[in-house]
């Protein structure tokens, strides 16, 4: 990046026009990239699909075989893993999951509140309300709380070129 200094409005206007042209080129490059990525993804998915189907079929067949032979493979349940020459299979019990009937959730919650220890309440600072109080209310009691302050917004600078058309370029 070169440090350029402008001496008049014309030079600055030309730079803004160039910024517009660069942004248009970048947009075209991004569009080309997105199309190439989508095409590559479609090709990869097309190649992967038959392998995924074959794998799923083999896993189902191995599972069916091992289910039939489970007693022998696990030494009558003493093991949860069976070793083969090319790999191993394992049976693992997942964790229990709590199911709550959505039509009864309010009633269940009321009953659990009475039992204590089975509900939780989250308390958080309402940043919007605190900000409003600190900025709008001169006598806000929140102004006496140490650690609360308002950060003034930072000024930003932007360049918005006009007339930068997204016409195709042959060199991109």
Structure tokens at 113: 């509140």
30 found inside a domain? yes
| Residue range 115-147, pLDDT digits in tens | 888 999 899 999 999 999 988 888 889 988 999
Give the CB-side neighbour count of residue 141, counting CA atoms within 13 A.
0
Of 33 and 157, more confident: 33
153 found inside a domain? no
Q: How far is it, in rounded angstroms, from Cα 99 to Cα 10?
A: 70
Structure tokens at 165: 């058309």
DSSP-derived secondary structure for 91-124:
-----------GGGHHHHHHHHHHHSSS------
168 found inside a domain? no
169 found inside a domain? no
50 found inside a domain? yes
This prediction's pTM: 0.57
Per cent of the chain over pLDDT 90 is 69
Indicate if the pLDDT at residue 171 is higher than 70. no
| Residue range 65-117, pLDDT digits in tens | 999 999 999 999 999 999 999 999 999 999 999 999 999 999 999 999 898 88
What local confidence, expressed as pLDDT, does residue 165 receive? 58
What local confidence, expressed as pLDDT, does residue 12 receive? 94
Give the CB-side neighbour count of residue 147, counting CA atoms within 13 A.
1
150 found inside a domain? no
Segment 30-42 shows an average pLDDT of 98
Provide the domain limits for residue 31: 9-144
- Structurally, the chain folds into a number of domains equal to 1
What local confidence, expressed as pLDDT, does residue 4 receive? 83
What local confidence, expressed as pLDDT, does residue 168 receive? 57
Q: How far is it, in rounded angstroms, from Cα 81 to Cα 70?
A: 10
116 found inside a domain? yes
4 found inside a domain? no
């Amino acid at each position: 990046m070169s440090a350029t200094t402008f001496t008049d409005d014309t030079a600055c206007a030309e730079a803004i026009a160039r910024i517009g042209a660069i942004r248009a080129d970048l947009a075209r490059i991004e569009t080309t990239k997105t199309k190439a990525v989508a095409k590559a993804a479609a090709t990869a998915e097309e190649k992967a699909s038959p392998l995924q189907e074959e794998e799923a079929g083999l896993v189902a067949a191995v599972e069916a075989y091992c289910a039939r032979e489970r007693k022998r493979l696990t030494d009558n349940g003493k093991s949860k893993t069976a070793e083969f020459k090319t790999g191993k299979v394992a049976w693992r019990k997942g964790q229990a999951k709590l199911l709550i009937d959505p039509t009864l959730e309010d009633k269940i919650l009321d009953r659990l509140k009475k039992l204590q220890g089975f509900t939780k309440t989250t308390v958080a600072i309402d940043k919007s309300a605190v900000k409003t109080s600190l900025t709008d209310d001169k006598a806000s009691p929140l102004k006496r709380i140490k650690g609360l302050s308002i950060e003034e917004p930072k000024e930003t600078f932007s360049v918005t070129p006009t007339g930068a058309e997204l016409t195709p370029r042959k060199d991109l």
